[in-house]
């Protein structure tokens, strides 16, 4: 698509707030689409250390953007997935990731977060569109534009804003304020509190050098009582998270802030607890190589992901528990879906500049596609987390006695429904991404050019789950 130019001389312009995972994926898409944009980041590019695991549907999008080869230079796919009981006894050892790779051409790839963000940034042909150390002081919406005021007195003007500013988003707050003025009653207090009313856990994040007893391409989970260990073990590092259940949930607008002393105190609570049959947590803690951190783990999905000229993606719109490593992946998929809608909307607009009404339609179509999928993942992530730390006796029973008996192939088939039905970027080729046994619904749609995508997803889910599970 050529650089979009409106009749009045100003090109269609998008302001992206946040240059984290979703913001940088969005910037890459916008540069491929040739859409004028600016990315405003309050900090630096790629600041935080820690691991993030990528799954096949996101890897395919990253392949389309041209960064998969770079990712493969620093990351390797996971092989083992082992679970241990509270006493350190092994309760399962699965080959699920291998089955997923067979089915979808790629399994689960953990990568250092900083590396991923740097790769995405380095891939941008024009880096001048990304501005760091930006302090936003106001966001104003008008009939024909949106303005973002910055602390240095400058103003960024555009047609729309993508709020990619994470779980503590300010873009969402401006969106809510605007909605309260022009659509009173749309955003309810129930919605405002829902995103964090169920914040019932926090996590200690520790990074160590690789630990031979844990393996180099393995995920290790230890079920404990009211907490659990979750370790991503690679040849680069062990990214360890220890998830603790709060005694009382923390509700909106309260936010806990943590100090180094809090991290020490949490670690001390579990130093003597078995991680595996060979290690206790003290063996991990003593090898920590960066200052440990503690963060709250919000969980939830907003009902309204857009209003006026603002649209939210990633953690600004929804937050999944990290125990099945899909929160950031859903954010990548959000961006792909939104970019497809924007690309179609721009092409269909008389002067390649969608009106406010057209933008509303674009955002609504994006939300309608993504929200059911994200709700499914947020729910699944929450249930997995509860199983991992024995939230109720039923969760304990499921984790220790039912889950270990579910065949690897069945698990891969179940989650595979979600992968195969994910969006890809419609405006970039996907040919060349490794093929698996299962087809991608979006490729089937490309071939037939007839399936309605929502019906297709539901139909595929229904048919696929029955057929595939029976096949094993």
Ligand X SMILES: Cc1cc2nc3c(=O)[nH]c(=O)nc-3n(C[C@H](O)[C@H](O)[C@H](O)COP(=O)(O)OP(=O)(O)OC[C@H]3O[C@@H](n4cnc5c(N)ncnc54)[C@H](O)[C@@H]3O)c2cc1C
- CB of residue 436 to ligand X, shortest distance in Å: 20
Tokens of 313: 């993606």
* 457: alpha, beta or left? (left if phi > 0; alpha if psi -120 to 50): alpha
Query: Applying CB under 6 A, does 165 fall inside the site for ligand X?
Result: yes
Considering the rule CB under 6 A, would residue 170 count as an interface residue with ligand X? Answer: yes
Closer CB to ligand X, 207 or 343, in the complex? 207
Residue 321 Cβ vs ligand X, minimum distance, rounded to whole Å: 9
**Shortest Å distance, C-beta 372 to ligand X:** 18
**DSSP collapsed to 3 states, 1-66:** CCCCCCCCCCCCEEEEECCCHHHHHHHHHHHHHCCEEEEECCCCCCCCCCEEEECHHHHHHHHHHC
Instruction: Rule CB under 6 A: say whether 464 interacts with ligand X.
Output: no
Q: Give the nearest distance from C-beta 325 to ligand X in angstroms.
A: 3
| Residue 205 in the binding site for ligand X (CB under 6 A) | yes
Strand partners, 93: 82
53 lies in the binding site for ligand X (CB under 6 A): yes
Q: List the beta bridge partners of residue 161.
A: 15, 310
Site string (346-375) toward ligand X, x via CB under 6 A:
------------------------------
449: left (phi over 0), alpha (psi -120 to 50) or beta: left
**Near ligand X by CB under 6 A: residue from 329, 370, 420, 461:** 329
Among positions 27, 30, 52, 336, the unique one binding ligand X when judged by CB under 6 A:
52
Determine contact, residues 366/312, Cβ cutoff 8 Å.
no
Which residues face 394 on adjacent strands? none
Residue of 27, 86, 96, 134 interacting with ligand X (CB under 6 A)? 134
Q: How wide is the angle at C-alpha 90 spanned by C-alphas 84 and 96, nearest 5°?
A: 80
Our finding on whether 74 is near ligand X (CB under 6 A) is no
Q: Report, in Å, the least distance between residue 6 CB and ligand X.
A: 26
Instruction: Report the residue number, 105 or 331, with the smaller CB distance to ligand X.
Output: 331
Distance, in Å, from the CA atom of 168 to the CA atom of 42, rounded to the nearest integer, reads 12
Report the Cα 261 to chain-centroid distance in Å.
29
Q: Considering Cα of 156, then 21, then 254, then 378, what sign does the dihedral take?
A: positive
Judged by CB under 6 A, does residue 327 bind ligand X? yes
Contact call for residues 425 and 61 (beta carbons, < 8 A): yes
Number of amino acids touching ligand X (CB under 6 A): 33
**CA separation for the pair 299, 315 (Å, rounded):** 10
Closest separation between CB of residue 334 and ligand X, Å?
8
- Closest approach of ligand X to the CB of residue 448, in Å: 30
163 binds ligand X (CB under 6 A): no
Q: β-pairing, 199-208 with 130-131?
A: unpaired
The site map against ligand X for 289-308 (x = CB under 6 A) is ------x-------------
The CA distance from 426 to 424, in Å, is 6
314 is a contact residue toward ligand X (CB under 6 A): yes
Residues 12-41 that bind ligand X (CB under 6 A): 17-23, 40-41
The residue within the footprint of ligand X, chosen from 322, 354, 436, 464 (CB under 6 A), is 322
Q: Is 203 in the site for ligand X (CB under 6 A)?
A: yes
CB of 89 vs ligand X, minimal distance in Å: 26
C-alpha span between 46 and 113 (Å, rounded):
7
Q: Residue 433 carries which DSSP code?
A: S
Q: Counting contacts by CB under 6 A, is residue 274 touching ligand X?
A: no
Q: In Å, what is the CA distance from 325 to each residue of 273, 281, 295, 367, 407? A: 23, 22, 16, 22, 20
Among 461, 424, 375, 464, smallest CA distance to 105 is for 424
Using CA atoms, how far apart are residues 354 and 395, in angstroms rounded to an integer? 49
Q: Which is nearer to ligand X, 44 or 183 (CB)?
A: 44
Q: Which residue is nearest to ligand X (CB)?
A: 20
Question: How far, in whole angstroms, is CA 137 from its chain's centroid?
Answer: 27
Taking CB under 6 A as the criterion, the residue among 10, 42, 192, 252 binding ligand X is 42
- The residue within the footprint of ligand X, chosen from 30, 130, 241, 413 (CB under 6 A), is 241
Give alpha helix (H) positions in 34-170: 56-65, 68-74, 96-104, 113-122
**Sole binder of ligand X in the list 1, 3, 34, 43 (CB under 6 A):** 43
Shortest Cβ 20–ligand X spacing (Å):
2
Question: Can you tell me which of 30, 136, 240, 302 binds ligand X, judged by CB under 6 A?
Answer: 136
Is 315 among the residues that bind ligand X (CB under 6 A)?
yes
Which among 64-72, 275-283, 319-327, 352-360 is the span making contact with ligand X, rule CB under 6 A?
A: 319-327
Quick one: 33 or 78, whose CB is closer to ligand X? 78
Helix (H) or strand (E) holding 414: helix 408-420
Is position 326 an interface residue for ligand X (rule: CB under 6 A)? Answer: yes
Binding site for ligand X (CB under 6 A): 17-23, 40-43, 52-53, 134, 136, 164-166, 170, 203, 205, 241, 295, 314-316, 322, 325-329, 331
């Amino acid at each position: 698509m050529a650089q979009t130019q409106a009749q009045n001389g100003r090109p269609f312009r998008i302001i992206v707030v946040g240059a984290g995972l979703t913001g940088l994926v969005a910037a890459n898409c916008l540069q491929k689409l040739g859409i004028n944009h600016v990315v405003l980041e309050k900090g630096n590019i790629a600041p935080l250390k820690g691991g993030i695991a990528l799954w096949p549907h996101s890897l395919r999008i990253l392949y389309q953007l041209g960064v998969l080869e770079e990712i493969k230079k620093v990351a390797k796919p996971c092989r083992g997935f082992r679970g241990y009981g509270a006493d350190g006894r092994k309760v399962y050892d699965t080959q699920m990731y291998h089955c997923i790779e067979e089915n979808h051409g790629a399994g689960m790839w953990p990568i250092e977060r900083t590396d991923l963000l740097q790769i995405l940034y380095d891939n941008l042909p024009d880096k001048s569109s990304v501005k760091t150390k930006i302090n936003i002081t106001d966001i104003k919406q008008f009939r024909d534009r949106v303005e973002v005021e910055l602390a240095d007195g400058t103003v960024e003007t555009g047609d729309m804003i993508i709020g990619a500013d994470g779980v503590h988003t300010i873009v969402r707050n401006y969106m809510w304020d605007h909605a309260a003025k022009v659509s009173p009653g749309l955003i309810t207090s129930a919605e405002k509190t829902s995103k964090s009313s169920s914040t019932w856990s926090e996590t200690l994040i520790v990074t160590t050098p690789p630990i031979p007893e844990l393996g180099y391409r393995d995920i290790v989970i230890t079920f404990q009582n009211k907490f659990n260990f979750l370790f991503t073990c690679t040849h680069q590092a062990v990214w360890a998270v220890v998830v603790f259940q709060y005694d009382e949930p923390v509700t909106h607008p309260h936010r806990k802030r943590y100090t180094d002393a809090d991290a020490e105190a949490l670690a001390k609570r579990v130093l003597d607890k078995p991680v595996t049959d060979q290690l206790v947590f003290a063996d991990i803690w003593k090898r920590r190589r960066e200052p440990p951190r503690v963060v709250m783990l919000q969980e939830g999905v907003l009902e309204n992901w857009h209003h006026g000229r603002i649209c939210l993606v990633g953690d600004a719109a929804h937050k999944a528990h990290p125990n099945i490593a899909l929160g950031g992946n859903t954010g990548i998929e959000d961006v792909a879906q939104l970019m497809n809608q924007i690309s179609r909307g721009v092409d269909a607009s008389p002067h390649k500049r969608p009106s406010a009404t057209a933008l509303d339609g674009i955002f609504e179509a994006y939300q309608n596609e993504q929200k059911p999928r994200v709700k499914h993942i947020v729910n699944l992530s929450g249930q997995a987390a509860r199983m991992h730390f024995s939230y109720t006796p039923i969760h304990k029973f499921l984790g220790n006695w039912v889950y270990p008996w579910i065949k690897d192939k069945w698990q891969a088939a179940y989650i595979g429904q979600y992968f195969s039905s994910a969006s890809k970027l419609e405006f970039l080729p996907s040919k060349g991404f490794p093929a698996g046994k299962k087809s991608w619904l979006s490729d089937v749609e490309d071939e037939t050019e007839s399936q309605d995508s929502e019906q297709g997803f539901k139909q595929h889910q229904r048919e696929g789950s029955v057929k595939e599970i029976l096949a094993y």
